[in-house]
């Protein structure tokens, strides 16, 4: 994420949380997100992250729910505080405390895998006890099925590929194993992981809960591994760290299949976004092409070890 000077938008300046009105507010844009507009705002004393957003039904994103999870995670000690939230006419504003922390990249994930895995396991258990209301579920295979429907209805330019994606998803689903239900982040790109150093040492935080929901440990682990471009050896290390025992063959295969499925889901997310989203500065067509390349790599890795999925 990067910042640069900006004339503050009126809707940001008029937020009711500023202690002395908007006279001392300075603003910088915060780039890097693909589904919302964000800024760093300073009121002369403190810094905040301000996000302007809306519900995105085609991506199963509900901001009321996201705000609830953000508060639950902060209450459990895993993320910055949500200090203000408002939704009017599907126009949402979220204001978070700004923490001076290092934003992870793929190398940071790998280099800090032990403490990160422990922290993620705690998140899975402790945030589950803080969330409230209707229990949402993240199941990558359902998301893929729903995206296929959405892309068909929208007459997507990728419509000829959808039957292949459906068959691929079905094959990947068939090798999954029974798992306990935990509360997952489900969007563990390295940029959603931060490390803050204080007198007690380094604390790992998670941010951005658009897709947080009840899911499975393997789903989140595969998501983390895929987004950080893990090798097979690093996959095994992650599994052993999380479960505190050597993984079994079926578990290893299930995670490898999930890595492919999650990249397929991300690819289709971008395809759907081409039809339905318009965030300034975001090129969804380019991102789709990047995802297709990443999907091809994951698929090759899986099929090299476990055999061809589709004839």
CA dist 281 and 278 (Å) reads: 9
What pLDDT does residue 13 have? 80
For residues 172 and 262, is the Cβ–Cβ distance under 8 A? no
Nearest CA-CA partner of 183 in 14, 69, 32: 69
* pLDDT tens sequence for the chain (311 residues): 333 334 556 778 888 888 766 667 888 877 666 667 788 888 877 889 999 889 999 999 999 999 999 999 999 999 999 999 999 888 889 999 999 899 999 999 999 999 999 999 999 999 999 999 999 999 999 999 999 999 999 999 999 999 999 999 999 999 999 999 999 999 999 999 999 987 778 899 999 999 999 999 999 999 999 999 999 999 999 999 999 999 999 999 999 999 999 999 999 999 999 999 887 778 999 999 999 999 999 999 999 999 999 87
Nearest CA-CA partner of 219 in 182, 270, 268: 182
The tally of CA atoms less than 13 A away on the side-chain side of residue 244 is 2
Give the domains, in start order, of the chain with CATH numbers.
10-97 (3.30.200.20), 102-306 (3.90.1200.10)
What pLDDT does residue 32 have? 63
What pLDDT does residue 167 have? 97
For residues 171 and 307, is the Cβ–Cβ distance under 8 A? no
What pLDDT does residue 8 have? 53
What pLDDT does residue 306 have? 96
What pLDDT does residue 292 have? 96
Q: What are phi and psi of 188, to 5 degrees?
A: -85, 60
């Amino acid at each position: 994420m990067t910042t640069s000077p900006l004339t503050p938008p009126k809707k940001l300046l008029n937020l009711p949380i500023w202690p002395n009105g908007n006279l001392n507010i300075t603003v910088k844009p915060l780039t890097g997100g693909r589904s919302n507009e964000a800024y760093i705002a300073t009121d002369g004393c403190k810094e905040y992250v301000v996000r302007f957003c809306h519900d995105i039904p085609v991506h199963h994103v509900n901001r009321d729910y996201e705000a609830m999870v953000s508060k639950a995670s902060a209450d459990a000690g895993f993320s910055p505080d949500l200090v203000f939230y408002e939704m009017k006419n599907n126009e949402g504003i979220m204001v978070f405390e700004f923490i001076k922390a290092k934003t992870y990249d793929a190398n940071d994930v790998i280099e800090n895998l032990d403490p990160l895995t422990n922290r993620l396991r705690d998140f899975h258990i402790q945030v589950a006890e803080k969330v409230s209301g209707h229990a949402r579920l993240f199941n990558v295979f359902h998301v893929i099925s729903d995206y296929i429907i959405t892309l068909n209805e929208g007459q997507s330019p990728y419509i000829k590929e959808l039957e292949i994606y459906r068959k691929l998803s079905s094959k990947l689903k068939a090798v999954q194993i029974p798992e306990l239900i935990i509360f997952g982040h489900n969007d563990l790109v390295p940029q959603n992981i931060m490390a803050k150093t204080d007198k007690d040492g380094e604390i790992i935080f998670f941010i951005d809960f658009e897709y947080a929901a009840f899911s499975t440990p393997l789903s989140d682990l595969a998501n983390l591994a895929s987004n950080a471009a893990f090798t097979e050896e690093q996959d095994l290390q992650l599994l052993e760290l999380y479960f505190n025992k050597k993984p079994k063959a079926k578990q290893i295969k299930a995670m490898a299949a999930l890595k492919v499925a999650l990249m397929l889901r991300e690819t289709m997310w971008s395809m759907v976004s081409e039809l339905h989203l318009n965030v300034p500065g975001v090129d969804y067509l380019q991102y789709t092409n990047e995802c297709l390349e990443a999907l091809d790599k994951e698929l090759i890795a899986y099929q090299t070890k476990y055999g061809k999925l589709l004839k």
